[in-house]
């Protein structure tokens, strides 16, 4: 319950910030273009707070925090007096209307630059992309990538973090191959060619690295328990924090993975644990609860988390930048996110990326909660990513989105007359249906991941 409330609160905070930024873009340019703004609303439904400025604009914070809008004076919607006609949206030139509509997504992109620049100025702590292991028979194994090698370049992209590696590989979808530059523990560099022919992201929740057979280095999990889930089989059996698992049914446990494998194979079966508690060895009977995994197979679940060994100092890197360098990096990273987002849309259309990977509000809420718990730097990075996605999504040529309006105005610019109201109305209906379908599909994906 606490996790749910934390994720919900983080989601509302993140969405509130990004919607405010987006709508303020429309609002600011509309004011500059001489359009009268009637209402600036964050959220929908019943107003919780509202106030007015000197120009008569009503500001609203509403009860349903799932978006927002800017209502402008418009003869197509309301009756407008002759004295105020010059202040209406529809009376402005097509260039002015294009600027007003495009300002929302542009504001999201500018906010991403700002968030990333602040993040770089605070300092970014990251893990070097050192390979932990390679899956046998995978594309990475065929390319002779080995454990303990650090990825320093993919194609022409310099790689400093696992996020860099992931984004770079995703941009290579549809290519036949890519050259990786690796550095071994003796600081010797060499290059390998990774075969990408036919590579697709067609499985739900399988990251690009994993689909290629690359497992990032992670410190080893020990057999000492760091946490016990409330109501779990471990708690019911009497296991406690700081207990160390020595053996199960007389079989000595040599690794955490060995224990996990045994638990997964023992759903609803009683097991005798030999446990070291302080200086005493005790015997505990444990019955792992059964649950279905993503493949639908029954597996055992204990409800514990292990103590993990610390990261090697040489694998952790903290980078600080000055204001100018931070802004430059923010621009570069935002541009990379924009191009990657458009690439992913294209890959979804062509089938290179499965629609199963789409996330909706639940996925965003979980991401928001996780990033907030990791601190300000992680939350800023998350905000930048979602802000770019929001901007790109709104540029899609669906008539109910900013991109749809822009499509109509660009057509008007070349035709020198507006698209007929009948055509626009039909487009809005089709766009609304497509948007509802996409939202429902993304929600279905979210629920399937729970």
Catalytically annotated residue among 23, 84, 235, 412: 23
- Residues whose CB is less than 8 angstroms from the CB of residue 208 and which lie 6 or more positions away in sequence, other chains included: 166, 169, 170, 201
Question: How far from chain centre, in Å, is Cα 254?
Answer: 36
Q: Strand 271-277 and strand 280-286: pairing?
A: antiparallel
Identify any residues that bridge with 284 across adjacent strands, giving them in sequence order: 273
What are the Cα distances from residue 70, in Å, to 26, 43, 180, 407, 435?
7, 11, 48, 20, 20
388, containing H or E segment:
helix 376-394
Report how far residue 308's alpha carbon sits from residue 277's, in angstroms, rounded to the nearest whole number. Answer: 18
Residue with tokens 């400025």: 53
Residues 442 and 186: their CA atoms lie apart, in Å, by 46
Q: Which two tokens stand for residue 51?
A: 């106030």
Beta strands in 241-342 (DSSP E): 244-248, 251-252, 271-277, 280-286, 289-292, 298-301, 304-308, 316-319
d(CA 65, CA 13): 9
Number of Cβ atoms within 10 Å of the Cβ of 449: 14
CA–CA distances in Å: residue 260 to residues 207, 253, 282, 291, 300:
22, 10, 20, 14, 9
Q: Is the dihedral of CA 208, 344, 346, 337 positive or negative?
A: negative
Q: Which residue has the tokens 């359009």?
A: 35
What distance in Å separates the CA atoms of residue 393 and residue 383, rounded to the nearest whole number? 15
For the chain, report the end-to-end CA distance as a whole number of angstroms: 14
Annotation marks residue 75 as catalytic:
no
Distance CA 264, CA 253 (A): 15
Please, which residues have CB within 8 angstroms of residue 220's CB and are 6 or more apart in sequence? Answer: 255, 256, 308, 309
Nearest to 185 by CA among 147, 136, 142: 147
Cβ burial, residue 235 (10 Å; 0-12/13-18/19+): middle
What residues are annotated to the active site? Answer: 23
């Amino acid at each position: 319950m606490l996790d749910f409330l934390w994720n919900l609160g983080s989601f509302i905070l993140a969405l509130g910030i990004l919607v405010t930024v987006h709508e303020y873009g429309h609002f600011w340019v509309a004011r500059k273009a001489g359009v009268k703004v009637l209402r600036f609303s964050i959220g929908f439904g019943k107003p919780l707070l509202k106030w007015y400025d000197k120009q008569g604009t009503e500001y609203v914070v509403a009860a349903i925090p799932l978006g927002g809008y800017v209502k402008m004076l418009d003869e197509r919607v309301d009756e407008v007096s002759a004295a105020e006609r010059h202040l209406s949206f529809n009376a402005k030139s097509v260039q002015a209307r294009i600027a007003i509509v495009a300002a929302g997504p542009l504001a999201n992109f500018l906010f991403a630059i700002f968030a990333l620049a602040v993040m770089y100025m605070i300092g970014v702590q990251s893990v070097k992309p050192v390979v932990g292991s390679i899956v046998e028979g995978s594309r990475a194994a065929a390319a002779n990538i080995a454990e303990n090698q650090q990825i320093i370049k993919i194609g022409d992209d310099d790689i400093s973090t696992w996020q860099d590696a992931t984004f770079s590989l995703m941009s290579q979808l549809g290519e036949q191959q890519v050259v990786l530059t690796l550095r071994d523990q003796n600081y010797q560099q060499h290059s390998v060619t990774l075969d990408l022919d036919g590579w697709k992201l067609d499985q739900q929740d399988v990251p690009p690295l994993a689909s290629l057979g690359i497992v990032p280095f992670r410190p080893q999990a020990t057999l000492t328990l760091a946490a016990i889930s409330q109501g779990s089989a471990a708690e019911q059996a009497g296991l406690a924090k700081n207990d160390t698992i020595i053996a199960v049914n007389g079989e000595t446990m040599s690794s955490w993975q060995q224990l996990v494998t045994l638990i997964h194979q023992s759903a609803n079966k009683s097991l005798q644990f030999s446990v070291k508690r302080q200086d005493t060895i005790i015997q505990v009977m444990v019955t792992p609860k059964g649950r279905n995994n993503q493949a639908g197979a029954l597996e055992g679940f204990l409800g514990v988390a292990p103590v993990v060994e610390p990261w090697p100092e040489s694998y952790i890197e903290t980078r600080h930048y000055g204001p100018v360098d931070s802004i430059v990096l923010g621009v570069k990273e935002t541009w990379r996110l924009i191009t990657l987002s458009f690439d992913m849309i294209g890959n979804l259309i062509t089938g290179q990326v499965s629609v199963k990977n789409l996330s909706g509000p639940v996925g965003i809420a979980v991401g928001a909660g996780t990033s907030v718990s990791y601190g300000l730097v992680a939350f800023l990075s998350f905000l930048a990513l979602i802000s770019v996605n929001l901007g790109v999504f709104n540029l899609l040529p669906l008539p109910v989105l900013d991109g749809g309006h822009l499509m109509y105005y660009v057509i008007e610019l070349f035709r020198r007359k507006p698209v007929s109201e009948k055509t626009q109305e039909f487009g809005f209906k089709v766009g609304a249906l497509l948007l509802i379908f996409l939202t429902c599909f993304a929600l279905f994906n979210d629920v399937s991941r729970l």
